[in-house]
Amino acid sequence: MASPENKLLLDSVRDYLDQIREEGMDGLPMTERPQNLAKDVPINSAPARTRKESTIDMLARVKPSPEMNSTASKYPGIENTADLGSLREFIGECTRCKLHRGRTNIVFGVGDPNADLMFIGEGPGADEDAKGEPFVGRAGQLLTDIIERGMGLKRSQVYICNVVKCRPPENRNPEPDEVLACEPFLFRQIEMVKPRVIVGLGAFAVQCVLRLKTPISKLRGNWHEVRGIKMMPTFHPAYLLRNPGDKRLVWSDIQEVMKTLGLPIAGRGNA
Ligand code: SF4
């Protein structure tokens, strides 16, 4: 078991990694001493090995993806799905990408099929995978508080889903092939629900749907557009659990959303 000092250190490292991940990094630069390098050569003079290209780097290069504008081109027949229920049937026990190997449940999405407001996150975590419902762990409870105590809505009045429907192993970021395989389902969900506003939760989900590498700290607070619908990016609730000081920024983003939806703001904001 870790000593109190080591636990403190581990918590600090975890917080730091959480912070830079939210900023869009999913790896740290590495330097590696080549095998044939003399032992007395300082490590800093060795050529740096560039880190593995991130999912967002790769997705940014494939824009504009035909799948972004036409779900039909990727999965023939998907355009004939009439509602969310038939879309879920179309997905079936999906094996279209490697994420199917580790999942317990496909986490399709929940909420009002005619909602004015849609929340999009990155992908299911352990709690979501076990239950088959998005945002049900501690971060999910915070999202529910934002919706219910902050916005004055019921969770059942909005629609909540993710970019990928199956849990990535070890909670890693989804890889480009996994995003490209699963996003036609997200796009079809957006077409069917036709929300007035989308809230993008966290760097990965926002950068995926926008095909941008811009850090979430610069994207949040400004309106963007996804498939013709206004999208407000903001921080992921899991990030807020570790960085509660940034709740005020999320509240400011949510207020913009409430103004656009014509929801009353006075007396709210205690999520
Ligand atoms: S993540 Fe999406 S595409 Fe991949 S197996 Fe799950 S439902 Fe299918």
Cα 166 to ligand 1 centre (Å): 6
In this structure, what token pair is assigned to residue 12? 């600090």
The residue to mutate among 74, 75, 100, 208, having the most atoms of ligand 1 within 8 angstroms of its beta carbon, is: 100
Q: Do the domain assignments include residue 94?
A: yes
Task: Print pLDDT tens along the chain (271 aa).
Answer: 567 667 666 666 665 666 666 655 555 555 444 444 344 433 333 334 344 567 777 777 665 554 455 555 689 999 999 999 999 999 999 999 999 999 999 999 999 999 999 999 999 999 999 999 999 999 999 999 999 999 999 999 999 999 999 999 998 999 999 999 999 999 999 999 999 999 999 999 999 999 998 999 999 999 999 999 999 999 999 999 999 999 999 999 999 999 999 999 877 765 5
User: Cβ(230)–Cβ(245) under 8 Å?
Assistant: no
Q: What is the pLDDT of residue 72?
A: 53
Domain hosting 229: range is 56-261
Q: Do the domain assignments include residue 24?
A: no
Q: Do the domain assignments include residue 2?
A: no
User: Cβ(231)–Cβ(224) under 8 Å?
Assistant: yes
Q: Do the domain assignments include residue 51?
A: no
Q: Do the domain assignments include residue 254?
A: yes
Cα 189 to ligand 1 centre (Å): 14
Q: What is the pLDDT of residue 74?
A: 84
Q: How is 117-169 classified by DSSP, letter by letter?
A: EEEEES---HHHHHHTSSS-SHHHHHHHHIIIIIT---GGGSEEEESSSSPPG
User: Cβ(71)–Cβ(126) under 8 Å?
Assistant: no
182 Cβ closer than 6 Å to some ligand 1 atom: yes
First to last CA, the chain: 35
Q: Do the domain assignments include residue 7?
A: no
Buried b or exposed e, range 28-37, using 16+ CB within 10 angstroms: eeeeeeeeee
97 Cβ closer than 6 Å to some ligand 1 atom: yes
Per-residue pLDDT of 84-96, as tens digits, reads: 999 999 999 999 9
Q: What is the pLDDT of residue 254?
A: 98
Cα 106 to ligand 1 centre (Å): 8
Q: What is the pLDDT of residue 151?
A: 97
Q: What is the pLDDT of residue 35?
A: 45
Q: What is the pLDDT of residue 34?
A: 42
The enclosing domain of 192 has a CATH number of 3.40.470.10
Count of residues in the chain: 271
Q: What is the pLDDT of residue 174?
A: 95
Q: What is the pLDDT of residue 269?
A: 66
Q: What is the pLDDT of residue 48?
A: 40
Q: What is the pLDDT of residue 57?
A: 77
Q: How many domains does the chain have?
A: 1
Q: Do the domain assignments include residue 230?
A: yes
94 Cβ closer than 6 Å to some ligand 1 atom: yes
Q: Do the domain assignments include residue 19?
A: no
